[in-house]
Structures are given as structure tokens and as C-alpha cells.
Structure 1
Amino acid sequence: MQIKLTKVYVDEHDKALKFYTEVLGLQKKADFGNHGYRWLTVNSPDDPDGAELQLELNSNPAAKAYQQAMFAEGQPALLLHTKDVKADYERIKAKGGEFIMPPTDVTASIIAQVDDTCGNIIQFVQLNW
């Protein structure tokens, strides 16, 4: 069994695609639509056949309420593993990423959090064990 797809809700597809590709450095994997619905995914250029992240429009009221509540409570919608949080922080910040939390040492890891501009907090995790 493998995880091949997960999703985050976003408030606008094009804005999300720009952030996740141009700022975070992920790549567009799929982008097609049908009768007003758009299927949009990104993934890691380091693992092009790996797991995909669907950028799903938060047009469902329950999805929007969930997304807003998680953001208001400071809860990340997505955790991304990295080998060097500080280098990713500098790279993303240089591309306009606005961090809610700079690299911070916590139990057995270093974490940082960025606002994805689409209603989510993205957390980067560097494990130290």
C-alpha cells in the first residue's frame, strides 16, 4: 500500500499553483478540467513518480470552514520533510514566502512554517534523530 495523493484546500487555483511551484519549488503534475471542475496536482521534482498534492478549490462550505479553522488555530495543513530547514527557509523567503515561524528547534527536529497565500500553513520538518 502506498500514499499516492493527498490534498490541501486552496482559495484560488492559479494563485496556489504559482506559490507551490514558483515559491516552494514543486512541479505541476496534472492540470485538467471538465465542466468547471479543475484537477490540479503538484509533486516533488526529486520524485516525479511519487506522491502528488492536489490543490483543491475550497468551494465546499465544509472544506472552507475546516481550512479557516485550521489556519485560525495555527495548525499546518501540510507537513513537508526537508534535509535542511534553514536552507529552504532562506530560499523560499528570497522568493517572497512569508514565514509565520522561522526555523525553530523543537524536540528532535527543526521546524518552520510559511503562509501559502491560499489559506494554509505549511510546516517544514527536519528530523534530528
Structure 2
Amino acid sequence: MIKVAMTSVYVDDVSKAHAFYTDVLGFETRIHMDLGDGTLFVTVGAANGAQQDLQLLLEPGQGPIADPYRRAVREAGLPCIVFSVDDIEAEYQRLRGLGVAFTQEPRGQGPVVAAVLDDTVGNLVQLVQPKG
């Protein structure tokens, strides 16, 4: 069986992304390693030890491949990643209370209710909750 172990999100600033994804979104730090020359290797994952085998790498987003990709995805209004939540309305209200900017309020989209937020480090992120 093959499973997803790690996926990455290109970010403007790894330290700022780490703070946003942990302090605001509520993920926990899995790996925080200085590779030298100011380069950080940082992964986060679901809080309270959930999904231990799945990590999100906060990848430095500069460079000839990452920059055009990130710009195109952002300009198209597409989220770079989708996270599931148990109660999208509660998360929406909690995050708005913390000052998070949303480009889409919760609304039905096929089998889910979805909202889109700005992660402050160059990306749009979608939150989804299954309907019913």
C-alpha cells in the first residue's frame, strides 16, 4: 500500500509560515531543523498527534520553478492545498477573529462546504467540510 507521507507548500518566508500554520491554523511542529546558512527545514502536521504519518513541508518558495508556479496558481484564485475541518463555520469564525483574511466565505461546492483563506505567505488555502 502506498500512502502520502509528506507534501509541500511553497511559502514566502518559512519562519512566518511556521508561525501562521501553528499559532493560527493550529498545526503542530513535527520537524524544525536549521540546515545552515539560514535555511530551515520545517514540517507541521495535525495537532494532538493525529495523522502522525502525514506531514506538510513549508518549502522556501523562491526560485525559477516555484515563483512562476506560485504566481500562476495565486492569480487563478486556486488554493495550493485543501484541509478538512469538522465544523467549517466554527473554524471560519475562529480564524476571522484572529484576523485571517478570507477570499471566499463558507459556501456549498458539490459534496462539501468550502472556504478559502490567505495564508499570509503567498498562498490561498481551502478549508472543506463534507455536507451532511
1:87 equivalent to 2:90? Answer yes
- Which of 29, 41, 44 is residue 42 of structure 1 equivalent to? 44
The reply to whether residue 5 of structure 1 matches residue 41 of structure 2 is: no
TM-score under structure 1 normalisation? 0.94
Query: Could you tell me which amino acid in structure 1 is paired with residue 15 of structure 2?
Result: D
Task: Note the aligned Cα RMSD (angstroms).
Answer: 1.3
The match for 1:103 among 77, 84, 106 is 106
Indicate which of 48, 54, 63 corresponds to 1:51: 54
TM-score, length of structure 2 as denominator length = 0.92
Separation in structure 1 between the aligned mates of residue 20 and residue 98 of structure 2, nearest angstrom: 9
Unaligned runs of 5+ residues in structure 2 are none
Q: Tell whether the 8 Å contact from 1:44 to 1:50 is kept in structure 2 after alignment.
A: no
Percent identity among equivalent residues? Answer: 31
Q: Indicate the residue corresponding to 1:124 in structure 2.
A: 127
Q: What is the number of equivalent residue pairs in this alignment?
A: 129
| Aligned mates of 2:53, 2:98 — CA distance in 1 | 25
Structure 2 counterpart of 1:115: 118
Q: For structure 1, list consecutive stretches of 5 or more residues without a partner in the other structure.
A: none
